[in-house]
Structure 1
């Protein structure tokens, strides 16, 4: 009696050991929700109450504006796991295995640099100079407080020792986006030598954003042109 042959299962790509860590901008999300509410309120009001070409102009404008608002506020995110970094920017999605990441830079913007030298901005992790200055002031106050003798004593005193120990345990005060970059650098240092951290850098355009925005722009131009 012969047994039926079963096709061998298709090999699956390695599953990351942990789920993605997701980094997004709370301020960007809040601003995006507010902008969308205003755009939809004005647009739908024009569609319902408008006369003549106004409803069509409002629809074309919403078709153009809504995808762009979503792209630049709600869409940006950074996903990081054991094997790769995925950067979802407004108009592109970039996937970089850790083995292809040369560095993560912070200046006036946060960037990931591929080993080819190509730079990709991290839209979801914006730099806030105000937050950095605020964190620097807090760190200066914390450091000064840890180094002062306790009042009426010749040394730190028990309370001063507890404060200093807490300061060392907590580490320096950092802006939130700088903390995110520190986490990503830690992942890079720990995982860039893994065998599964190799592969090609891929870049995909966000056609789900570009297509409706382009259609809205064309429709709006046609309506204004035949005015």
Structure 2
């Protein structure tokens, strides 16, 4: 099902991914925190989040960077978050074919999930697909716009070739979304410093492995144990 859905979103992501192949910048978390807590800043977090929840398609990539990486500083952030509607959604997600009577229920469940965590890439992906099936292309493009920009934020944070330039993620599942997007099969996974390293079959890809920087996930985990 994931491969079928991702075909729809590739149209929105293709050009953006190419642009990230040669340039990236690691997030400056201190600078981001300063901006999102400044009520006079255009990046003030409550204002940005309000625009996101109201489906503002004028949000820029830089504003999405402050939204995504700025979420680490929000009280609700949980590195191991799971959707409160996960079991119900999995039942639909595992179906090869959906009936038209399922669409509204799925949309309601996903929007409820996104209200709890607005950066749920798996559900944004699925939401765009269901809206497309329903024939609501405007809503499908809005969901794809969010998916597109969150993915681009991750792509723009590194190149994944070493831990120092690993892709920055705030959720374990975001690592697997990226790997599945590129249809990359991994051999093993290991924690290396502040990174998750996924080794690949030698000779099959241009690189031997991919690094994801999970420093903020680890920091969040340490806080939860105090």
Same fold (TM over 0.5): no
Kindly name which structure, 1 or 2, has the bigger radius of gyration based on alpha carbons: 1
> TM-score under structure 1 normalisation?
0.23
More RCO (CA 8 Å, sep 6+): 1
The structure whose residues are more often strand, as a share, is 1
> TM-score under structure 2 normalisation?
0.23
The structure whose residues are more often helix, as a share, is 2
